[in-house]
Amino acid sequence: MSPARRTDPVVNGPASIPVAEGEEPWTQEELTEIREELTGEVARLERAIAVAQAGLEDLFSDGSEGAGRDAADVGSTNFERDQEMSLAQNAREMLDQAQLALRLFDTGDYGSCESCGRPIGKDRLQVFPRATLCMDCKKREERR
């Protein structure tokens, strides 16, 4: 343990993570697995962003759109650039979600909906560990 006191639920115990009504309490093994999954996802997304950035740099340095270039080639290059930028942005958003979930895990606030404060639900978190909203709040957000 580092000099700064860690307060993650793996240290404090499974009882510190809320569960939805009717769900079994978290076990130490389940919490360890969730934290490892979040940590692995952060690393995977950081690598994906680095690869996407390198691809974008290649596309942007691929030459100019000056005279002599076929319009179809320019259009294709622009399309590829837009696709790469979209993929990189999506990876950044997922990375932000994973980092937030990991911070919440480490502070002992993991498993509670950041909107209403109710438990997110063990089943939901096991499928989607980055979740910070319960299903009701997520549905409400998506309707907007």
Q: What is the pLDDT of residues 103-115, one digit of tens each?
A: 999 888 899 999 9
Give this prediction's pTM. 0.75
Q: Name, of 4-8, 69-73, 74-78, 126-130, the range with top average pLDDT.
A: 126-130
Which residues have a Cβ under 8 Å from the Cβ of 136 and sit 6 or more positions away? 116, 118
The reported pLDDT for the residue numbered 111 is 94
* Secondary structure class of 67 (helix, strand, coil): coil
Average pLDDT over every residue of 55-78:
68
